[in-house]
Structure 1
Amino acid sequence: MPMQQKAIVIHSPGSGRSSKLGEAIEWLRLAGMEFVDVLPISALDGLPPQGPVWQKQGIQLAIAAGGDGLVGGVTSHIVSSGLPLGILPLGTANDVARTLGISMDIEQAAATIMQGKATSIDIGVAQPAEQEPHHISDPHKPVLPTDAQSYFVHALTIGINVKFAKFATDKQLRKKYGNLTYAAAVAKALQSYTPIEVDLDFEGVAIYDQGVNGKPGEEPRILNKTVHVSSKVAQVTIVNSPVFWGALRASVPGVNLHDRLLDIVIIEADHLANLVYKILRFFRRSTIQKADYAGWYKQFPELFSAERSHIPGIHHIQAQGITIHCRGQQAEATLDGEIRGQTPIHARVANECLNVIVP
């Protein structure tokens, strides 16, 4: 990156490490960065994408100073303009920054913004969804317009993670548990877990034909028909970037930021203890296991050659898009860890890519 840059900083006052924002800005200023403005993300609520506006002001770089939710929110403002994004990981998990190899050390992260390179990565887009997060318990929250859309960089989720997001962003819980807020939120979300009946319509499913020695081939072929799945689930996660759980760095195997595919993980409903065991097994797998043509695959044979995990009760499918309907209810959806969407919801690989500064 050139040494002289005009930048705007968007930050989240509620981020886990927001107290380090001043230190980061001062370091960047001394390194030659010129700041046109420093705004809280709430200042953008209700506004159309601001990337083109910022470019007219001579801004060359947008800096997201916060966690994954902030990264997703800023992305929705800049992606159509092509304005590059720098990340100061001031959140609690910072899974997007970890995926991109950006240091959790603030000075090193700032150095990446000044000295790193821009790279284009895939992102997802969801509809209906919004840039501004809302509270799951808000009884006055309006139904989103069907044409409202927003982007996500990390993941879109329905199910257990929505309740986790509710607890993890609760101010009283944060005050009570501090650095242990995420652990407390996970425990509370699991305690209140209830299965959801869903209808899933997959578009552009990636099929991996058997290659040499019966192993899946490297390059998939894309199925040119919609695949319909009905199931009772604990969670559906549409993954764009693979790292989860912050410092624990659990990673979804096989996720690629440049393959023009979303990785969709379906966790079937089960007893709580079984769910925890299967989720841990899913993240820990090091090789693709052999699938048994039974159960799920007998119901949905088109997905047999698309399966990437082969762990009973957890399914990993790659596709270009998916529509999620929840039977008998309208369910909330998180985008990048914040509640910003609702079912029925459609998600796909965005036509646009995000230009982001990496080491």
Structure 2
Amino acid sequence: MDSILLMVIAVVVIALVFDYTNGFHDAANAIATSVSTRALTPRIALAMAAVLNFVGALLGVGVAQTIQGIIKIGEVTTSGDEHDRIHALTIVVAALVGAIVWNLITWYFGIPSSSSHALIGGIVGAGIASATTVEWTTLVDKVAIPMVISPLIGFLGAFLFMTAIMWVFRKANQHKVNRGFRLAQTVSAAGMSLGHGLQDAQKTMGVIVLALVAGGYSDGEDVPLWVIVSAALAIAAGTYSGGWRIMRTLGRKIIDLDPPRGFAAEGVAATVLYVMAMGLHAPVSTTHTITSAIMGSGATRRFSAVRWGVARGIVVAWIVTIPAAALVSILTYFGLAAVIPGN
């Protein structure tokens, strides 16, 4: 087995490890509100989320193609020389390490940062460090603008949706309303899980295709079926392993949710994820979207009901995720370039 193939296999394994960490890091996105309102037990919620993450990952590849278009990895390998291919694969490894390290740091401290933006930061950092062309137009149009817009839509949409729910059920028996929305949250949590798979598993698919292009095993035009299935399985397994630290932050620390507010937050967030993935092929953050939706639905009780100090810390994590992951990626690239022959 030649060195290029071995390195491609190693990169694919690392990418699937990232996908797994994405699953347990972001499991809370889909089910924290349902668990905190006791609509679902934790294990049932995790099992449902894992299955629907897998299904969601099979629904499209538009986001994957956006991810692989952030840097022009193909220009590194135009000569077909073995050294160039090793160099290109080193770039992909550095991108993945940057994302994984930041994921583990934020998971350990229970901070619901974005795995998506950690991966994007890792790719950009590796591209800059290696002097590979970064498609800044794609980064702005497909990443930066949706990154800002999706949480705003999540907040405002959940606020308006919850306001409508409060008006419609203003004279209803509160106990019956809560019981009904607790059942409805099973559907909204399922929608979030499907949207998470649709968005986040595709990002790993995009990185694996980058590795295949770098190794000379793909032209980047299509996403192979085995890539789709393996990414879907990895994120599903990670989801089932759970993300309890972050679940506590989303489900309890931002606001004490009731079933109607949990349903409003999940329903709006899931809708945003579908529209961004299927309509715009934009790799938005499930974490950003559901967190802002929770804040929006919670603010209908009164603005002071939202623990804005916790929310502020989360927003800071959002802001620093891309540059932090990029920095780790840059350091990793230079470290690997110094020890791997061909760089």
TM-score tier (shorter): under 0.3
Of the two structures, which has the highest relative contact order with CA contacts closer than 8 Å and spacing of 6 or more? 2
TM-score, normalised via structure 1 length: 0.24
**Structure showing the higher helix proportion among its residues:** 2
**Structure showing the higher strand proportion among its residues:** 1
TM-score, normalised via structure 2 length: 0.25
